[in-house]
Amino acid sequence: MNEKSQARDVYDAVGDPSRRKILRLLADVEELPLHEITVHFQIGRTAVSKHLSILKEADLVIARKVGRETRYRLNAAPLKEIQDWVSFYEGFWKDRIAKLQLLLEEEK
């Protein structure tokens, strides 16, 4: 998978509120099995499993088998790309606000 498609996968994966909620749940614990993740949603186990599959494809979630159960944990490393992208715009807006403040002070 090339860098562009991986980036798209990460952005697509975090674009859904249910998937963001799963990531938030996993950020608070070492790992969780599917049934413990599912209780936090008003959707079925199959739908939660599909969301987890999308997160796995984007490398945001790591799964491991323990007996008959699959446990999931967060892999936050791919989120760095989103952080870098947002940081650029944070700097952009800080610069614009500083220029606006200077302009307003000059008008006083």
Give 60-86 pLDDT, tens digit per residue.
Answer: 999 999 999 999 999 999 999 899 888
Q: Is residue 107 part of a domain?
A: no
Q: Is residue 14 part of a domain?
A: yes
Domain that holds residue 30: 3-76
Q: Is residue 105 part of a domain?
A: no
Amino acid code (one letter) for 57: E
pTM summary value: 0.76
pLDDT > 70: percent of the chain: 93
Q: Is residue 81 part of a domain?
A: no
Q: Is residue 101 part of a domain?
A: no
Query: Which CATH number does the domain housing residue 63 bear?
Result: 1.10.10.10
Give the model's confidence band at 8: pLDDT under 50 very low, under 70 low, under 90 confident, else very high. low
Distance CA 6, CA 86 (A): 17
Q: Is residue 85 part of a domain?
A: no
Q: For residue 62, how far is the Cα from the chain centroid?
A: 13
Torsion of CA 91, 93, 98, 103, to 10 degrees: 150
Distances (CA, A) of 16 to 10, 34, 56, 68: 11, 18, 14, 28
pLDDT tens for 12-22 read 999 999 999 99
Number of domains in the chain: 1
